[in-house]
Amino acid sequence: MRTQVVIIGSGPSGLMLGALLSKSGIDNIIIDRVDRDYILGRIRAGVLEVGAIGLMDRIGAGERMHREGLLHDGFSLSFSGRRHRIALKELTGTSVMVYGQTELTRDLMDHREQSGAKTIYNAGNVTPHEFDGEKPYVTYERDGVTHRIDCDFIAGCDGYHGPSRAAVQGKGLQTYEKVYPFGWLGVLADVPPVHHELIYANHARGFALCSQRSPTRSRYYVQVPLTDKVEEWSDDAFWDEIRRRLPEDVAQSMVTGPSIEKSIAPLRSFVAEPLRFGRLFLVGDAGHIVPPTGAKGLNLAASDVHYLFAGLEEFYGEKSKAGIDAYSARALRRIWKAERFSWSMTMLMHRFPDDGEFGQKVQEAELDYLASSVPAQTAMAENYVGLPY
């Protein structure tokens, strides 16, 4: 087989890139290790920045998102028994949209199916080759047979554990990492959200987040030790714990019900540099991870795609390498700012086992300052709605 761009990974970054390339007449094949239903079973991010919304529109896959997504003009921080609203729209002129990654992925998969572009699911041992030269190719196995796809470029959209970053190990790859000493236990339930906007809670028992997917579906998280096992958390124990971490009035109005998904995710900050190795590019989680506190993971995948697509379009349209040469530096500039924001939100809102009461007092002082300072709120709001591409 031959194509222009092989995309490894059918998550949001691979699907968005594939759609933009196809729309510009650039042939591409997506290969994933698992199948469509497996990918759609993963419950992940929920908040879209204006840049990600714009990308979905540009692709022509934004119709359901605009119909069903919920525009949020603010969110609340709860701490020391009180609540303070960060007025995103008032402070920045911009809102965010609550629309689940699962739904966005489904829309992109449906769009791809309708376009007739090729996707290979359930591919084993996917491996990029010869990307240092002019003629890269990717191999994979299916039904015991090894296949080869020759191409011009390989886009590594294969997440944190995928083969693309593994293939550039020892080729000048530098990594920067911070691992946090806790995880997030998340629950999805068909109950109405406790509040019309998101609530991020700092509490002596640990962080909590009240999010949502629709007027009848809620997504909640609590900070848990990394040693906790999801099987040890009954639904009742989860509801009791999250209510303890919220202001009294919020806790009392919370509607609970059986969970339809429950999982624990570790928290990590990670950046790989550079994001280009010859004709192989790292995109989205393959190149960087943020802790979820700033709601940036999926949105960074979108901005990477924006920069890489611009470079590939320029390469094929104008025969210029300037855009692909600039990809890594352009993407990393924005990535590091989102890393900084996600790290600072994480430090501000969680209990750190080693920081004790001093750490908590400092957090409370910072939150108190934030609540009294419009410039501080504006800086938080500007980062939360997303910095410009």
- Whether the CB-CB separation of 244 and 145 falls below 8 Å is answered with no
For residue 271 the two structure tokens come to 């950046």
The residue from 167, 295, 331, 335 that contacts ligand DHB (CB under 6 A) is 295
Is residue 47 a contact residue for ligand DHB (CB under 6 A)?
yes
Taking the chain, what is the end-to-end CA distance rounded to the nearest angstrom? 35
Is residue 386 a contact residue for ligand FAD (CB under 6 A)?
no
> What residues contact 218, with CB distance under 8 A and at least 6 apart?
188, 189, 191, 192, 193, 194, 210, 211, 212
Q: Is 196 a catalytic residue?
A: no
Kindly indicate which of the ranges 21-29, 30-38, 223-231, 351-359 contains the residues binding ligand FAD, using the contact rule CB under 6 A.
30-38
Task: List 222's β-bridge partners, or say none.
Answer: 185, 208
The residue (of 161 and 196) whose beta carbon lies closer to ligand FAD is 161
Kindly indicate which of the ranges 82-90, 158-166, 170-178, 222-230 contains the residues binding ligand FAD, using the contact rule CB under 6 A.
158-166
Minimum Å distance from CB 305 to ligand DHB?
A: 20
Which residue out of 292, 306, 307, 327 is catalytically annotated? 292
Is residue 10 a contact residue for ligand FAD (CB under 6 A)?
yes
CA separation for the pair 107, 104 (Å, rounded): 5
Task: List 373's β-bridge partners, or say none.
Answer: none
- Whether the CB-CB separation of 263 and 42 falls below 8 Å is answered with no
For residue 115 the two structure tokens come to 């376009």
Going from the C-alpha of 255 to that of each of 68, 76, 240, 324, the distances in angstroms are: 22, 19, 12, 50
Q: Is 72 a catalytic residue?
A: yes
Is residue 45 a contact residue for ligand DHB (CB under 6 A)?
yes
Q: Which does 276 bind (CB under 5 to 8 A by kind): ligand DHB, ligand FAD, none?
A: none
Q: Please tell me whether the peptide bond between 292 and the residue prior to it is cis, using omega within 30 degrees of 0.
A: no
> What residues contact 62, with CB distance under 8 A and at least 6 apart?
53, 56, 107
Kindly indicate which of the ranges 11-19, 91-99, 145-153, 348-356 contains the residues binding ligand FAD, using the contact rule CB under 6 A.
11-19
Q: What are the residues binding ligand FAD (CB under 6 A)? A: 8-14, 31-34, 39, 44-45, 101, 126, 157-159, 161-163, 265, 284-285, 292, 295-298, 301
- Applying CB under 6 A, the residues found at the interface with ligand DHB are 45-47, 198, 211, 219, 292-293, 295
**Active-site residue list:** 72, 200, 292, 296, 384
